[in-house]
Amino acid sequence: MTSTEEIAQWMLGEFNKHGRLIQNTAARRIRALFGEAYVYRNKNHNWAIQKPILDEFRRLTGNDVVWSRSNQLWRLRRPTDPSSTRMVR
């Protein structure tokens, strides 16, 4: 059985490989690789990742990675990003 940690590690590997991780792409790949139990359709009918997996990914990336809400992706923190939050525009 696949664990949330295994999927979060996969996400981290993809992030490290590409320097960013697009939510929709990651969710579709998780669905294909690990199964539909780890994703869901959000209110906009797009594939999204289950919260326990996101929590583990957040734990693995520490404060170095932020969620860009406007771009719907995770990226490295920039010096101009507020240090008090992990979500940016």
- The residue ranges of every structural domain in the chain are 4-88
Over the stretch 47-86, which tens digit does the pLDDT of each residue have? 999 999 999 999 999 999 999 999 999 999 999 999 999 9
The sheet carrying 65-68 orders its strands as: 20-22, 73-76, 65-68, 87-88
Tell me what the mean pLDDT of segment 6-31 comes to. Answer: 97
Mean of pLDDT over the chain: 95
Tell me what the mean pLDDT of segment 37-50 comes to. Answer: 95
Question: What's the pTM value of the predicted model, to 2 decimals?
Answer: 0.92
CA angle 44, 26, 2 (to 5 degrees): 110
Q: Give the percent of the chain with pLDDT over 70.
A: 99
